[in-house]
A and B are shown apart, each in its own frame.
Chain A
Amino acid sequence: MALVAGVDIGNSTTEACVAEVGPDGAVEYLSGALAPTSGVKGTADNVEGVVAVVRRALERARRGRHELDAVLVNEATPVISGLAMETITETIVTESTMIGHNPDTPGGAGLGVGTTVAFGALAECEPGEPVICVVGEGIDFEDAADGINAAVERGVEVTGAIVHADDATLIANRLREPVPVVDEVTLVEKVPLGMPAAVEVAEPGRTIRTLSNSYGIATVFDLDAEQTRMVAPVARALVGNRSAVVVRTPEGDVTGRRIPAGALTLSGERGKRSVEVDAGADEIMATLRGVRPLTDASGEPGSHVGGMLARVRDTMSELTGTRADAVRIQDVLAVDTFVPQRVTGALAGEFALENAVGLAAMVRTSRGPMRLLAAKLREALGVDVLIGGVEADMAVLGALTTPGTGKPVAILDLGGGSTDAAVATDDGVVRSVHLAGAGDLVTKLIDSELGLDNRELAEDIKKFPLAKAESFFHVRMEDGTARFFTDPLPADTFARVVVLSDTGMRPVPTRHSLDRIRQVRRAAKHKVFVVNALRALEQVAPGGNLRQLGFVVVLGGSALDFEIPDLIAEAVAGFGIVCGTGNVRGSEGPRNAVATGLVAAHALTAELGVAVGS
């Protein structure tokens, strides 16, 4: 009997499996353990993590370190992914033609049309003149209301107001004849005066109807067909708002501009093609499919994408000691996303959700400094260290210990940096693929789409379900059910959307609703994991046909996620595949597959050795 430990050094965690292997190849698994990976996968820095995880696994198996006969390590080729995001659209408002920032509490309701007049000049307006009053900074709400009331008394038709401070309801409440008031216009001094303008405010819970409609604006300002064509983007920009202002200026316009982000050149075994990054993710992925398998990718020098790929290359060359020009990018995943961006030329700090493309690039070196790592490990542990087979083969062997699986089996290893797939056919041939884009990209998408600027919080949002703290004693869960507590919840969770993390409730300090956060989270997982799962299986399936796969076992850290495996199962359901989260050795869940596979492979060779020997 030999006591061996299989050790899998992953991008983020190192896992171990301790087992007794009999001379006839019989394996008795004793324990498993995991610890964070120290340093970059496949480098000598990993020793610390490996030692920790082996010690832990031995403790669990109640065995001493001196009893250990061998440590089996996988051939860990460093797989590094780089992430970048580029905004590709921009909204520009010229001549302050519209205000569409949607303040919380506009005042009054209805539509007002008139010429813009500064509050100070209201006294000089002629009776019968329809005006929109522009109330600047520092004017008290009572004074504003008194001034407007006085003007109305003189016969001036004040039909609406645009206000600097958060005073709309306060002013509207004090007017004898309420008019629509739009407030919180921070750059109110830039509103063009003496121009025809329209102010519209809808009742609470409703959206504006006139200024969000091109023909509505045309009616208000008496526009001809050509002019109406010009204002169409303004109307479109205001759709869904509760309040809005449109000022008719000679050249005023709202434009959406595409920002050139540079071209991405994809070189594959089937040729070389270029694609503009601002064409969007679908176009990039279609181009990639055309040249697959990828041998390298490069970005236009001087462009954003060029800079991003250069950064990935530099990191990789630094880590592995290879020259930067020898580093090859072997896969890219592009996803469409959006980021909240300040609108150029806006008067009230409006944000627009601009389109962006997120890119994950993956690099694999030919071989990491494994020999060095093995030597260091031998020194640290004082036992024989054997470098085992290819990671994918080991993962398949480990996955097959899941009860209910059979060949042909495909595994999907959903990690932090990459999505890996491998397929083992009946005759034992294993084909594998490493794809860019996994958990880290999902975190980044959540972070940027919600404008959090807090990676750790984004990570929690990715991993745990949400709830809304409706009182100090109950929360409303994502699915609408209520959960009650006898002890009051922490004060900082009150009225907020919270993440139900394993360390307790964590408030999300934004004004996004629970539904919105949930939708962003699920969309991000879909864009990365479902797309990658299909892409990966397509590349390893015999003849590229997913129907040829009998079983798909989902493995890796992200397989522990509460919804990713379901999203994937749903996506492949149509292909008649049995798909589920792995349960390695019937006890480890989706973890420990490679470590278990290493032990299984070792036992197989032991058996063969016996066979050959006898």
Chain B
Amino acid sequence: MADTGVSTRRTLRLDERGTAGPGGRSDEVVIGLSPAFGDFFTKTIVDIPHAEVLRELLAGIEEQGVHARVIRFRGGSDLAVIAHAAAKLSGSGIAVGVLSRGTTMIHQKDLVRLSNLELFPQAPLMDLDAFRKVGRNAARYAKGESPEPVPARNDFMARPRWQAKAALLHIKETEFVVPGADPVELDVRFQLADAG
């Protein structure tokens, strides 16, 4: 499972564009990133590059003809907090929250924070295809369609196998939390790394 066969062809460049405000477009999905996503961390718990994760989420949204905005939340490392805050800023009220280790959630602004539309709790099971589908479904919710939920995979060996690493990653991510920090809008650019 650790070998995802994903090469690190692309690198991710995230440029800050100032404090993120609420979006005005109803055809918009916000992707909320955790404090260290694509920054201190560059890979998920199973070594999928963050560049590819974000690219697939964006591709899934774009394929549906929906606009995406990427925002980093430094105020906390709790996925529900990030995803819900992102949904509150989203013009459609729909957002995808993603942690550095790969745990992902689709949220809606009117839901209570601890609820969600779709949750993918087991980060080690998230592959690129799953991220693409998460992006696709988020966009479909934004369009008012009724998507079939992305099949949430479950492997009960994932917990004993990955729990220690997940805990360490979470502790590390939490070190980057800046309490009370404003969400920051990001410019996303993918660059092809030279093969050599």
List residues of A whose CB falls within 8 A of some B CB: 104-105, 141, 166-170, 173, 470-473, 488, 491, 494-497, 509-511
Contacts and interface: CB of A to CB of B under 8 A. Distances in A.
Given A105-B64, A472-B108, A488-B111, A495 B59 contact: no
Which 9 interchain pairs have the tightest Cβ spacing? A472-B110, A496-B146, A169-B63, A491-B115, A495-B146, A170-B63, A105-B63, A170-B59, A495-B141
Given A173-B62, A497-B146, 11 more contacts: A105-B63, A105-B64, A166-B63, A167-B63, A470-B144, A491-B108, A491-B117, A494-B111, A495-B141, A495-B146, A509-B149
B157 interface: no
A494 B144 CA distance: 9
A541 B149 CA distance: 53
22 contacts: A104-B64, A105-B65, A141-B59, A166-B63, A167-B59, A167-B63, A168-B63, A169-B63, A169-B65, A170-B62, A470-B144, A472-B111, A473-B110, A488-B112, A491-B108, A491-B117, A494-B117, A495-B141, A495-B145, A495-B147, A497-B146, A510-B148
A23 to B, nearest CB: 65
B58 to A, nearest CB: 10
A495 B108 CA distance: 11
Given A105-B64, A494-B117, A511-B146, A488 B141 contact: no
A104 B136 CA distance: 11
Contact of B148 (A170, A494, A511): A511
A494 B108 contact: yes
Given A170-B62, A488-B110, A491-B111, A509 B148 contact: yes
The B interface, classified by DSSP as helix, strand, loop or mixed, is loop
A228 B110 CA distance: 56
A105 B61 CA distance: 11
A141 B63 CA distance: 11
A494 B141 contact: yes
Contacts of A173: 62
Contacts, number: 51
Interface string B143-174: 01111110000000000000000000000000
Contacts of B132: 166
Interface of B: 59, 62-65, 108, 110-112, 115-117, 132, 136, 141, 144-149
B112 to A, nearest CB: 7
Nearest to A498: B146
Given A472-B108, A473-B110, A169 B62 contact: yes
A511 B140 CA distance: 12
A428 to B, nearest CB: 56
A505 to B, nearest CB: 14
Contacts of A141: 59
The A interface, classified by DSSP as helix, strand, loop or mixed, is loop
Contacts of B116: 491
A495 B148 CA distance: 11
Contacts of B141: 494-495
B110 A471 contact: yes
B114 to A, nearest CB: 10
Contacts of A510: 148
A472 B111 CA distance: 7
Nearest to A514: B146
Contacts of B145: 495, 511
Contacts of A496: 146
A509 B108 CA distance: 19
A495 B112 CA distance: 16
Nearest to A104: B64
| Best-buried of A170, A488, A491 by chain B (most CB within 10 Å) | A491
A575 to B, nearest CB: 42
B7 to A, nearest CB: 11
Contacts of B108: 472, 491, 494
Contacts of A473: 110
Nearest to B63: A169
Contacts of B149: 509
A559 B115 CA distance: 40
A167 B59 CA distance: 8
A516 to B, nearest CB: 12
Contacts of B115: 491
Nearest to B141: A495
Contacts of A509: 148-149
Contacts of A471: 110
Contacts of A491: 108, 111, 115-117
A470 B115 CA distance: 18
A529 B136 CA distance: 42
A102 B196 CA distance: 42
Contact of A169 (B64, B110, B117, B146): B64
